[in-house]
Structure 1
């Protein structure tokens, strides 16, 4: 089968931080600002915003100040080209600070397709991971990719799972981040920890958490991590016909 027009592209993730990011800010980001980014001709764009639908998630962890308020995924032919430069400049006008990262994308569990521009059902949890200094990169990557992936899928109610390994930062003042993980959970997972882990009862919950903690501890994802609850909007997909 021949490759489509947008089959081979690079992925860039922009992390926007803001001390004040209410629902009107979120709506502006996924609305008018997203439209301006689409006008750049990007092959793909997804906007994740920390809005009121998910803001009270029990699984929120924050190390950065100001905290992460939005995460945008851009697919582009040239990560160092004018599209990404323009996107960083545009988002900087809406945020206290914005950082860009070139990533390689692995998708152990692809989310079901929905209408472009519509909110993806459920909680889109985004995690910013750092490699501990005591782990060399091959060991860290093996424990994350090879060992942890199955545990994450087996112990949680995930229906979409994307792992982004950071190749390098594209902003001079970008916080150190080694990986950005995107996971999709059902709506109930926002406030119900049993729904988050898919546990039948307290004993099952304890067992799932124990497995998860042991697995994340092995590659340092139990510390120095930001987890950001978001609502996810895919505006244009590089794997489907352009809007």
Structure 2
């Protein structure tokens, strides 16, 4: 089995709320009919509007939704129905084959099929620093930053997806996709985000440690970070 991540852009004339509703209503079934499993959809909706200040943009316009799924083979020869389903639910899309690593599984607020997951999900497409070899960036990410992300944040789910290769022409040149889930209050309360409620010195230390670690491997000019609502649609 292979994991694929799809970045979706909404039609320009479709309101964000309508687009999110249309995706959640129609896309999971269409993808399952096309042969995929373990569908997850991350949408940008009113439930995460309070986190607008957390958005970081490279793409203009930025992605409106992210879809994650598994399939027997990501080879284009076998993806015809899948790509058609994605095309019917977007103005355009980009696909990536990824290697998934679950650092923190969501056991505290386990997703329920078809329902919005508790809290919210920070969806991050990142690019490694251009002055670093890919192997060195991955070594920093896995060998150093993973610990920092666990120790300095209130994340209750943390999944790293190393991009193996893009699957569609013209896909933005990212190196990884990261998903982290946080309590709802972390959308606009930085002390909650950095696991330091009521403790300003701890907040400042955690923030500085996180920013220093990110600077060690991420090209901040080529990232797309967005708060999303997460929906899982089961394993079948």
Which structure shows the higher helix fraction?
2
The answer for the alignment partner of 2:6 in structure 1 is: 14
Q: Which moved more, 1:171-180 or 1:53-62?
A: 53-62
Q: Which moved more, 1:51-60 or 1:130-139?
A: 51-60
Unaligned 5+ runs, structure 2: none
Contact persistence 1:21–1:69 (CA under 8 A): no
The answer for the alignment partner of 1:173 in structure 2 is: 170
TM-score by length of 2: 0.92
The answer for the alignment partner of 1:187 in structure 2 is: 184
- Rounded to whole Å, the distance in 1 between the matches of 2:111 and 2:66 is 19
Contact persistence 1:213–1:222 (CA under 8 A): no
Q: The residue matched to 1:68 in structure 2 has which SS?
A: coil
Dislocated runs of 4+, deviation >3 Å: 18-21, 81-85
2:30 to 36, 44, 47: 36
- Rounded to whole Å, the distance in 1 between the matches of 2:38 and 2:77 is 15
Report Cα offsets for 1:106-152 as digits up to 9, x if no partner: 01111123321111111111101111221001100000111100100
The answer for the alignment partner of 1:55 in structure 2 is: 49
The answer for the alignment partner of 2:111 in structure 1 is: 114
Contact persistence 1:22–1:51 (CA under 8 A): yes
Q: The residue matched to 1:134 in structure 2 has which SS?
A: coil
The answer for the alignment partner of 2:208 in structure 1 is: 210
Contact persistence 1:12–1:73 (CA under 8 A): yes
- Rounded to whole Å, the distance in 2 between the matches of 1:21 and 1:52 is 11
Contact persistence 1:40–1:83 (CA under 8 A): no
TM-score by length of 1: 0.89
Q: How many residues were matched structurally?
A: 230
Unaligned 5+ runs, structure 1: 1-8
| TM-superposed deviation, 1:82 | 5.9
2:140 to 133, 138, 143: 143
Residues 56/96 of structure 1: CA separation in 2 closer, same or farther (3 Å cut): farther
- Rounded to whole Å, the distance in 1 between the matches of 2:42 and 2:78 is 19
Q: Which moved more, 1:182-191 or 1:37-46?
A: 37-46
The answer as to 2:228 corresponding to 1:234 is no
- Rounded to whole Å, the distance in 2 between the matches of 1:204 and 1:222 is 24
